[in-house]
Amino acid sequence: MTDIEEIIQKLVDFRNERDWEQFHNAKDLALAISIEAAELLELFLWKEPDEASQEKIKKELADIFAFALLLANKFGLDVKKIILDKIEENNSKYPAEKAKGTAKKYNELDK
Amino acid sequence: MTDIEEIIQKLVDFRNERDWEQFHNAKDLALAISIEAAELLELFLWKEPDEASQEKIKKELADIFAFALLLANKFGLDVKKIILDKIEENNSKYPAEKAKGTAKKYNELDK
Amino acid sequence: MTDIEEIIQKLVDFRNERDWEQFHNAKDLALAISIEAAELLELFLWKEPDEASQEKIKKELADIFAFALLLANKFGLDVKKIILDKIEENNSKYPAEKAKGTAKKYNELDK
Amino acid sequence: MTDIEEIIQKLVDFRNERDWEQFHNAKDLALAISIEAAELLELFLWKEPDEASQEKIKKELADIFAFALLLANKFGLDVKKIILDKIEENNSKYPAEKAKGTAKKYNELDK
């Protein structure tokens, strides 16, 4: 069992022990990810990037990963594959020679 | 190298080839996660949970994982550990006997 | 003074009494709006649309309006005008004959 | 008719001409607000607060106001009243003498 499979197994066991699968439709899982992402964001509100509490960042990141993994699992997605595939796609959208050192969006790289 | 370490390595290589680390302060990484989370959410807007495009869900989930892993990596976090630690903490906040079958928040479980 | 100007005046007075303008740069105001939007969203998590607490919806909506008005005020925007202008723009993007009864995005209306 | 009532009337007319009320349940309206809030946030991604396009800020703010007003209207809320009420509540949570010059959250003001 890979690390990712092991984590997903524990998340699924936790969910099943509480009979929570009934609530975990894809739309609500997507809502949950957004909500946790905003809780992470709140740690930086009115602050400089390095002023946020690392302890709290850990917890909010963990929550984001948890719901994202549950949603990936719901669709039987291979988490490693979908990320590597997206890096491949981004390789074409953001060729290193054009994208280097600039934060421009892909549709602005030739301007 | 574990799966997670391998994915992070590829994300870091992609970032470095483009000299993008200068933009990846923790606050902007948190912003990026929220932005991608909302792009995932948009796939469900005005729709039933099962009406969203699975192809697009894959891509938006990949983007969420990518930025979340880059942020975890920035703080040298052990991704597996922080998630398992949070499951442990949730075990206490949501004891199976009290939480079973209900979506109530932990501070409402005894009401 | 219009209603909107009156509300903005009170928001600005509240901010100034606390010497908070120093924190209210446009980026952090945008973060604040997203954070409050997610707090509103959380009222619907795992629930049917009609199960959210109306009392709490009032408060989260008020927070969203507050930060959105402060951001509009920061750029000297005429709130009524920018909304009416956007409705005009949407009139073209979503012609009533094509958009009627469908939730399709504007770039999918002819498919 | 106040400014706010006039704006809401135009938003409602636009919605009804397209027979879109069927999609505007409270949960999806909350989703829409979050999605637009993230589109506003994206204008600041990787950027300094003053580097975002004012033209685009206008449009995203307009979208946020539009959905927030539609949600307020759905519950028959008096928009001016709910914001003024929240300012009152914040007056107590953030007394000027304690909150002045600090971005601390209300539950940390006495520490």
Segment C8-36, tens digit of pLDDT = 999 999 999 999 999 999 999 999 999 99
Q: Give pLDDT tens digits along chain B (111 positions).
A: 899 999 999 999 999 999 999 999 999 999 999 999 999 999 999 999 999 999 999 999 999 999 999 999 999 999 999 999 999 999 999 999 999 999 999 998 987
> Is A49 at the interface with chain C, CB within 8 A?
no
Contact flag A103-D34 (C-beta cutoff 8 Å): no
Chains with ≥3 CB–CB distances under 8 Å to C: A, B, D
A15 vs chain C: nearest CA distance in angstroms?
Answer: 14
pLDDT at B84: 98
Whether the predicted pLDDT of C81 surpasses 80: yes
Using CA atoms, how far residue A40 sits from A25, A35, A55, A65, B92, in Å, is 23, 9, 11, 12, 22
The ipTM assigned to this model is 0.97
> Is D35 at the interface with chain B, CB within 8 A?
yes
Size of interface C-D (CB pairs under 8 A): 179
Q: To probe the interface with C, which of B31, B43, B47, B94 has the most C CB atoms within 10 Å?
A: B31
Nearest to D71 by CA among A82, A48, A101, C62: C62
Q: Give pLDDT tens digits along chain A (111 positions).
A: 899 999 999 999 999 999 999 999 999 999 999 999 999 999 999 999 999 999 999 999 999 999 999 999 999 999 999 999 999 999 999 999 999 999 999 998 987
A54 vs chain D: nearest CA distance in angstroms?
Answer: 17
Beta-carbon contacts of D2 under 8 Å, excluding residues fewer than 6 positions away, are C2, C3, D80
Contact flag B68-A68 (C-beta cutoff 8 Å): yes
For chain C, how are helix, strand and coil distributed in percent, rounded to 5?
75, 0, 25
Measure the CA–CA gap between A56 and A43, rounded to whole angstroms: 8
pLDDT at A43: 98
pLDDT at C111: 74
> Is D88 at the interface with chain C, CB within 8 A?
no
- Phi first, then psi: give them for residue D47, nearest 5 degrees: -120, 165
> Is D37 at the interface with chain B, CB within 8 A?
yes
Across the interface, of B35, B41, B44, the residue whose CB is closest to D41 is B35
Q: Give pLDDT tens digits along chain D (111 positions).
A: 899 999 999 999 999 999 999 999 999 999 999 999 999 999 999 999 999 999 999 999 999 999 999 999 999 999 999 999 999 999 999 999 999 999 999 998 987
Measure the CA–CA gap between A80 and D98, rounded to whole angstroms: 49
Question: Cβ-count burial of D49 within 10 angstroms (0-12 exposed, 13-18 middle, 19+ buried)?
Answer: middle
Measure the CA–CA gap between B62 and A84, rounded to whole angstroms: 8
Chain A CB contacts of C42 below 8 Å? 35
Chains with ≥3 CB–CB distances under 8 Å to A: B, C, D
B76 vs chain C: nearest CA distance in angstroms?
Answer: 25
Segment D44-54, tens digit of pLDDT = 999 999 999 99
Alpha-carbon dihedral angle through residues A60, A63, A65, A67, given to the nearest 10 degrees: -150
CA-atom Rg of chain A in angstroms:
18
Sign, Cα dihedral of A89, A93, A96, A100:
negative
Contact flag A61-B84 (C-beta cutoff 8 Å): no
